[in-house]
Chains A and B, each alone.
Chain A
Amino acid sequence: MKRLVGQALVLVLIAGCAQAGDVQVDDVWARTSASMQDAGAVYMTISGGDEADSLIGVRVGSDVAARAEMHESMMMEGDDEGGMMQMHAVESILVEANAETKLEPGGYHVMLQQLAEPLVDGAEFTLTLTFQNAGDIDVTVEVREG
C-alpha cells in the first residue's frame, strides 16, 4: 500500500514536471465597472513555455458578458504628442518562448462586451483562453478596483 502511494506520488510529480515547459498564466484581473457600463477589460501575465505559442481565442460565460475579444490600445501613429489613443481588435497575441507577455492597461487586454452585470470588487469569474499549441486553459479572473 505504502509503495502504491509512493508510485502515485511519483506519477503526480512527473505530471507536475510535464507542466513546467508549458504556458502559464498569472495575475489575472479585471477592473471594477460602473453601473450601466457595457465594457470591461481583463489583464494578465502569460509566461511562455519552451516553445512560442499564440493566444488565439478568449471566452467567458454569458452570465459575465455577451462577448470577449482580444484588443489592443495604442497611440495613433504620428500623433505621439497629441496623445490620441485608439483601440482595435486583434486576432491573436504572440506568446514568446520563455518570456513574459503582459496584457496590461494601455496595451493588450481582453475586452468584455455587453457585461451582464457590473464587475464588483472581490468578485471572480472564469475566462477560457485558447492557445494555438497549449489548447484551452481556464483561468480565474479576480475583480479589483485597480
Chain B
Amino acid sequence: MIRTRIARLALTALIAGMMVTGACAAEDLTLAGMVRDPLPSVGTVSLPDASQGGTEFATIAEEGHILVLYFGYTNCPDVCPTTMADLRRAVATLGDDATKIDVAMVSVDPARDDGERLTAYIQSFFSDGHSLRTDDPARLEEAAFAFGAAYEVTETEDGNIDVAHSAFLYAIDPAGYIQVQWPFGMTSEDIASDLEQLLRRLT
C-alpha cells in the first residue's frame, strides 16, 4: 500500500485551500478551519457518557457554548494527544470564555477503551471532559456517519491493533451544527481565533 507521510507544508497548503472555502461559506467569519457546505447537523446524535455514569450525551452545545468533539482512542500516543494538547492551549488563551468551551471525545476503539480509561484520558486534558463510548458498533457507526468521520480498527499479523481514524476536531454550536472542523496540524492560535469568532457570534 502506498502511503504518504504528513508533510506539514502540504497540509498547510491544503488548509489554505480550505480557508478559501471557509471564507465563502460564512461571510461574516474568517475561520482558519474547514467549513462544510451545508453545515452538517449532529444535534440529534447522542452517545453514552462514561464520565456521567453512562447517561446519554447529545452532541449539541449548551446555550452560549461551543462543544468540541473528537473521535480518537487512548492507545494513540501521537496524533490524539497532540491534538488535545493543541486544543487545550487554544482554550487556555480564551480567558473567562474558556468555560464556554466543552470538550468530548468518542472512542473508536471501545474494546480497549473502557469508560474509566477513556474518562481519565480526556480529563487529563480537560477536567470536565466528556468520554463517549458505546459497545454497540452500530451506534458508533451511526454517530461517526453523522459527523462524516471514519475509523478502522484492524489486527495485524503480529497481534498489534492498528487504528486509523479521522483526526478532525469538530466545533458544534447550540443549534447542533458543525460550524467548523480543524484537521490535524492546525495551530492552537488558529483554533483559538476560530473559537473566539464562534463565541462572539453566539452572543
A residues neighboring B (CB under 8 Å):
31-41, 71-77, 79-89, 105-107, 109, 111-112, 145-146
Contacts and interface: CB of A to CB of B under 8 A. Distances in A.
Main secondary structure on chain A at its contact with chain B? Answer: loop
Interface of B: 1-6, 8, 11, 14, 74-79, 81-82, 85, 116-117, 120-121, 123-125, 148, 150, 152, 160, 162-168, 183-185
A81 B13 CA distance: 12
A41 B85 contact: no
B79 A87 contact: yes
A59 B44 CA distance: 47
B162 A87 contact: yes
Contacts of A80: 14
B75 A38 contact: yes
Given A77-B1, A77-B4, A37 B165 contact: no
A37 B74 contact: yes
A75 B6 contact: yes
Contacts of B120: 34-37
Contacts of A85: 6, 79, 164-167, 184
7 contacts: A33-B124, A36-B120, A81-B14, A85-B166, A87-B79, A87-B162, A107-B5
B164 A84 contact: yes
Given A34-B121, A74-B5, A41 B116 contact: no
A112 B77 contact: yes
B77 A111 contact: yes
A15 B85 CA distance: 42
A106 B3 contact: no
Contacts of B183: 83
Given A36-B116, A37-B121, A74-B5, A106 B185 contact: yes
B162 A88 contact: yes
